[in-house]
Amino acid sequence: MNSATLDPAAGPVPLQQDAAIIGLVGLAHASSHFSHLLLPLLFPVFMTEFGLSYSQLGLLMTVFFVVSGAGQALAGFAVDRLGARPLLLASMAIFVLACALASLANGYAALLGVAVLAGLGNAAFHPVDFTIMNQRVSPLRLGHAFSVHGLTGNLGWAAAPLFFASLSSLYGWRNAYLAAAALYLAILGLLYLQRDRLSTRVLQRQADGAPEDRLAFMRLPVVWWCFAFFLLSTMTLAVVQSFSVSILKAMHGVSFEAATLTLTAYSLCGAAGMLVGGFVAARLLNSDRVVALAMTAAAFCLVLCSTGLLGGTGSMVLLAATGFAVGLGGPSRDMMIKRATPREATGRVYGLVYSGLDVGFALSPLLFGLMMDRGWYAATLLGAALTLMLGVVAALGVGKRTLAGAAKP
């Protein structure tokens, strides 16, 4: 089927067709998460070669997520008007340019350019991915599609350290970036060859429609509840990614290697949770409650870790379990957002709502970094748990307002 959207009258969709679309979108999502680590993994190299400070390096990621967040909100409008496919291909091309520039970097200005390009390339993925899946994947398999989408994102995070560590040690960091550019170019080629599977319906312009009508979705309270949910839940994720290694070392004397493996285990358990969560999302309609229960379990694990009563080993195991709990709620989270999204504004809503991820990633290191600087390690974990519970409140708020909207004639 090469049509832009599913035809309900055409009968059941073959599994092979859905699987191909899910696989292509999953590959694109893994590429997006891979881009999150294009710069951080080489921070030690940049400090040595260019004499940069931690604050300068941190600013690179702030620039990345600010550009990504602002671009993501705007990309949603472009997806609705142009379709998802052009933006997806353009994003891959931008990643190629970002990696090529990184390989030629000779100072801080070039690295800032890389951060801008990588953030711009990352911006379109959530409105693009979810528009393609919502329009091209059969409804009965959407839960599994969202599961694979989240899982491949985690795998993108897991692949980046292996890719850059191995290639940098063998061929140097500049050649590692050239290899990353070649990888993105190969993915771009594959997506272009399979472009018929990635086409989506676009909104028709209304001759008498006022420009402000396109912003009507921003007046829906449920949209801002969704935004708040992503902002709050991502702030907790950022705490784990940014500070868990330091917290384990400070509170329990865990070695750097073991603490780093715990972070890897968190990501892998998150991927496993998303796989299981796909079956949960496909069978249970109360997505907001599934999300609330999963996030509450994750917050409880963080509270236990903050007490220090479990020791180093117990805390590491519990942090990995936190990843599974968060991952378990991932597909239901995406189903929750789908049900809250007006059909005529899919790209715009996903662009705005998922920009909350970038805002959370940008804010969390600043807020919780102050606590870490003061040695408040247990308080940092408690703060992350509290933030996640506020996300639970936001999730239940999304569910309540979605039901209220559905009940209106």
- pLDDT single digits (tens) 352-408: 787 888 888 878 877 887 888 888 889 999 999 999 999 889 888 887 777 555 444
Q: What was the pLDDT predicted at 207?
A: 45
**Any idea how long the chain is?**
409
Q: Please report which residue ranges of 284-345 form alpha helices under DSSP H.
A: 287-307, 311-340
R_g of the chain, CA atoms, integer Å: 21
Q: How far is CA 102 from the centre of its chain?
A: 23
Q: In one letter, which amino acid is 132?
A: I
Q: What was the pLDDT predicted at 217?
A: 65
Q: Report, as an integer, the average pLDDT of 49-59.
A: 82
**CA angle (197, 22, 351) in 5-degree steps:** 85
d(CA 390, CA 299): 10
Q: Which domains does the chain have, with CATH numbers?
A: 14-199 (1.20.1250.20), 218-401 (1.20.1250.20)
The SS3 assignment for 9 reads: helix
pLDDT at 83 over 50: yes
How do residues 305-326 score in pLDDT, each as one tens digit? 999 888 888 989 998 899 899 8
Token duo for residue 292: 């609330």
Spell out a b/e string for 114-130, using b for 16 or more CB atoms within 10 Å of the CB, else e. bbbbbbbbbbbbbbbbb
d(CA 87, CA 198): 11
For residue 25, what are the contacts with CB-CB under 8 A and spacing of at least 6?
129, 132, 133, 145, 149, 198
Binned at pLDDT 50, 70 and 90, residue 209 comes out as: very low
Upper half-sphere CA count for residue 398 (Cβ side, 13 Å): 32
DSSP letter at 214? G
For residue 62, what are the contacts with CB-CB under 8 A and spacing of at least 6?
362
Helix (H) or strand (E) holding 375: none
- Pick left, alpha or beta for residue 375 (phi over 0 → left; psi -120 to 50 → alpha; otherwise beta): left
Helix (H) or strand (E) holding 159: helix 142-171
